Amino acid sequence: LGRRGIWHDEVDSTNTLASEWARRGAPNGFLVAAGRQRGGRGRRGRVWFSPPEGLWFSLVLTRPLPLRRAPELTLLASVAVRRAIARVAEAAPDIKWPNDLLMKGRKVCGVLAEIRAEGELVEHAVVGIGINANIRHDAFPEELRDRATSILAMTGRQMPLALLCAEVCNQFDPLYRGLAETGEGFARVMDEWSDACVTLGQWVRVETPRGVVEGRALAVDESGALHMDGADGQRIVLHTGEVLFSH
Ligand code: BTN
């Protein structure tokens, strides 16, 4: 992954551009990276702050797996980025469900996977990764400063962006190949994901499309869904949401 690709100084969104490349037949693993994004996109239609000094890129994956297994891509990407940051910055971020990477409780990375499916087949997926690598903390807009941070702000280390990008691809590669083989390999990745996940075991309040729910976070399954024990003992399964607080 990432052996072929293109780098732009500035784009609207690397995910949008990578989807266009995918539709025009870009090969598997094609990388689209940018120095900055004018219209970086986050989950749930949010804007993703993408100034220079961050690492903004997307990978095209062609016919990666059946549609029902698509959530695995995001889980693998989080693990790959976590490993890459651990190696390059020598500090391993935590994972917050569904797919944020945090350092000391603040977000350093987000993953946005977008899928184009034909029936039960994924035609292509675009996995977009945004890492707040060398952004100074005071460069974040005020409303983000409590929630966001960068590797530089947390470790004092300047990240070589090309190296970090290459490391993410190198970590993602074997995990991605492992998807074709079933079973154990993925279970090990899920264990790694769960061990790094700060949400599990906590009492959490989660904003979902159907309202706010509260309970104890128990586990995440291979579809990325969060299993919780609700306040009055009922089991809750959430496929998407935003953890508002945990303790
Ligand atoms: C999130 O909301 O946590 C996901 C953020 C994903 C941001 C990355 S930056 C590269 C790629 N291009 C985009 O427009 N978004 C993703």
* Distance between Cα 13 and ligand 1 center (Å): 8
* Residue-by-residue DSSP string for the chain: --SSEEEEEEES-HHHHHHHHHHTTPPTT-EEEEEEESS-B-GGG-B----TTSEEEEEEEES-SBGGGTHHHHHHHHHHHHHHHHHHHS-PPEEETTTEEEETTEEEEEEEEEEEEETTEEEEEEEEEEE--S--GGGS-GGGTTTB--HHHHH-PPP-HHHHHHHHHHHHHHHHHHTTS-SHHHHHHHHHHHHHBSSTTSEEEEEETTEEEEEEEEEE-TT-PEEEEETTS-EEEESS-EEEEE-
Q: Which atom of ligand 1 is nearest to the CA of 57?
A: 10
- Written out in words, the top-level CATH class of the domain with range 5-196 is alpha beta
Domain ranges of the chain: 5-196, 203-246
Q: What percent of the chain has pLDDT over 70?
A: 98
Of 56, 75, 135, 149, best ligand 1 pocket probe by most atoms within 8 Å of the beta carbon:
56
pLDDT of residue 180: 76
Residue 40, ligand 1, Cβ within 6 A: yes
| 216 annotated binding-site participant | no
* Distance between Cα 150 and ligand 1 center (Å): 15
- Quick: pLDDT tens for 157-207: 999 999 999 999 999 999 999 887 766 778 889 999 999 999 999 999 999
Residues 6+ apart with CB under 8 A from 32: 5, 6, 8, 11, 14, 17, 18, 21, 57, 58, 60
Please count the residues of the chain.
247
Q: Which atom of ligand 1 is nearest to the CA of 37?
A: 14
pLDDT of residue 186: 85
* Distance between Cα 48 and ligand 1 center (Å): 6
Its pTM stands at 0.96
Residue 96, ligand 1, Cβ within 6 A: no
| 15 annotated binding-site participant | yes
Q: What percent of the chain has pLDDT over 90?
A: 88
- Quick: pLDDT tens for 123-166: 999 999 999 999 999 999 999 999 999 999 999 999 999 999 99
CATH architecture group of domain 203-246: Roll (2.30)
